[in-house]
Chains A and B, each alone.
Chain A
């Protein structure tokens, strides 16, 4: 089918390719880095514990949502298993007045922004096409069209620049999205206007079944400088390195230095969504290698080495995660079905005669099932 040599995960961003910023080794050792250490110097024992708690809670939420899908309570779920550090490390670097534009897998980012747990699953249960009011949490509703949100972030950042605000737009997308025209156009616009935007690419090695080598013959981070945008390639399973890199990018944006591109090299340990079957395209050995790089495991090793991973701490974290999962489950199952006629709501901001006619017709049609005289149901209105 292709003339190109076969692509595999070993081509790019493979476990053997560690040409990236790393502050925490796979075995949990702090790796000194003169350039990036200062950006996480404030993360002491309490900070590390908080990050660990985040990682464990969001993995538990993700697992619970997957279970809810398997039990028929959700129509679909896009697991983030393996990408927790990339999302937590970056999202915990943000200010409340920054604004986030994501794809659909950034549920840990949403958690950090303060999105309600039940709101995370409204879309996937089919109750609504978005779960929250963007203004209330500083996070747009996720874009399902791949890469579309990068332009929205760029436009928002243009507005922030006009307003003289020191707020930053951060947009999340995957390795597959970098092939989309919108992502490339967003980089052209962001560079041209020097707007405060951070392009945060989670290279999780897969776009459904397509390996990253099919999207790019170079590291994805290498593309950005061609647009005039400085880039950072970071170990996406190293929560400290991700936080440091994101803070560097945010600081540059806030101080008028324009956009930055971050490639967080990580791995999607689960399926693309619960409808996917990775056994058809993924080498189990590859998965096993990445399991050794697990983002939670390595932070746990660091905490352990520093004497912070006490039984009490472990129990408290587990209890927090279990409580969050229980809240998610109860909230999900308790979601009321939307009212049938709400299907017509919010198409426009003001009444629209043609649509009102369709609503009235359908309301009469529905009412006919509750009435003894069904003949009057459809009179004079199109259904």
Chain B
């Protein structure tokens, strides 16, 4: 868990006088490649989106003076004022529902859900309203809403703070679902998500928030594109979010044993970039999918089914899923048994290789 240190700001979300930025020139976006943590990269992406479009507003709990429980929105209240960074009362359905109304009025809201397990009070507004309004209105109403969700485990947290609820949303037509994995794609994909006229669920790997990396102020490849992060020839290993880093480590370890793994960072969980996945599987003939979320009904099952349909004749072995178990998220002292790690991923690779 993060330490909730005290911020010097007074918590007055709707203060009539916007708080001044110490830099008279106002907020400044990234101009050069900079080394940032993943959390700071998201912060930089939010800042740039707010600079680019005055209709971008942030809503969430504790996102103002505190800067969010993970500090992702640090300084933004001070820089943009309380009409752009809105601390809300504690009601997730209302955070999403008011974002719908703001979108009706031409705004481009970015909602922060404090933790993965807190999204369910907002589930109805996401599934019944945000996802469907464009379809319901035959395209007349757009819902350019980004919903940021810290997700995943591995931080020793209390219940409801380590979940991976992404499959509920990939199952919902009308939503785009993104999971980022490093500072660069966190920055680039956030800017694309906010610019998208479709609603986007944007999942942030909370245990990677403090990992640093170089960030170029660019949009990179389109957000619905999967990326090969480590080329290989014998096994296609697909993952997203925090496990991308673990999968790369697995590829390095396997290389020491003479096994060549191609790691694909899916990035977009809905839609899935099947062109990239399919091309890789046609080359390797072997597929392993890994994610923290429970196996049944998960993203991995859908990918395995679709790839089996699309290129069955190219498969040398039955695809393998290495996932969290079909259990409620366990207590912190047990989470290492639930979360796929390097060894479990390598065991899955061995299985698909028939070893």
Contacts and interface: CB of A to CB of B under 8 A. Distances in A.
A155 interface: yes
Interface in A150-189: 150-160, 162-163, 169, 181-182, 185-186, 188-189
| 3 smallest beta-carbon distances between A and B, as pairs | A155-B101, A151-B97, A155-B98
Contact of B309 (A143, A348, A350, A382): A382
Contacts of B272: 354
B147 to A, nearest CB: 14
A162 B89 CA distance: 18
A188 B139 CA distance: 31
Chain A binding surface SS class: helix
B105 interface: yes
Contacts of A154: 94, 97-98, 101
A151 B101 contact: yes
A349 interface: yes
Nearest to A157: B101
Sorting the interface of chain B by its residue count into under 10, 10 to 19, 20 to 34 or 35 or more gives: 35 or more
Given A133-B140, A148-B129, A347-B173, A156 B135 contact: no
A159 B59 CA distance: 12
B271 A151 contact: no
A347 B134 contact: yes
A140 interface: yes
Interface string A337-351: 000000001111110
B97 A354 contact: no
Interface in B96-148: 96-107, 109, 121, 124-125, 128-129, 132-142
A355 interface: yes
A152 B101 contact: yes
B30 interface: no
B94 A182 contact: yes
Nearest to B132: A129
A318 B198 CA distance: 47
A348 B134 contact: yes
Contact of A189 (B57, B91, B107, B136): B91
A75 B57 CA distance: 41
A145 interface: yes
B232 to A, nearest CB: 24
B25 interface: no
Interface in A314-329: none
A181 to B, nearest CB: 6
Given A145-B128, A347-B135, A352-B271, A185 B97 contact: yes
Nearest to B139: A346
A206 interface: no
A99 interface: yes
B56 to A, nearest CB: 12
Contact of B137 (A141, A157, A159): A141
Given A145-B128, A154-B98, A347-B135, 9 more contacts: A129-B136, A155-B103, A155-B105, A181-B93, A185-B97, A186-B97, A194-B14, A347-B134, A349-B198
Nearest to B54: A162
Contacts of B141: 134-135, 140-141
Nearest to A155: B101
Contacts, number: 151
Contact of B97 (A160, A182, A193, A347): A182
A128 interface: yes
A153 B272 CA distance: 34
B14 A193 contact: yes
B128 A148 contact: yes
A130 B88 CA distance: 31
B198 A189 contact: no
Interface in B293-345: 309
Nearest to A128: B138
B91 A185 contact: yes
A156 B104 contact: yes
A130 B133 CA distance: 9
Contact of B101 (A101, A145, A185, A350): A101
A192 interface: yes
Interface in B53-89: 57, 83, 86, 88-89
Contacts of B91: 181, 185, 188-189
B4 interface: no
B136 A152 contact: no
B138 A151 contact: no
A346 B101 contact: no
Contacts of B176: 348
Contacts of B106: 159
Contact of A354 (B132, B137, B140, B271): B271
B275 interface: yes
Contacts of B103: 155
16 contacts: A99-B104, A130-B137, A134-B141, A145-B128, A152-B100, A154-B101, A157-B101, A182-B93, A182-B97, A185-B94, A189-B89, A346-B138, A346-B139, A348-B198, A349-B142, A355-B173
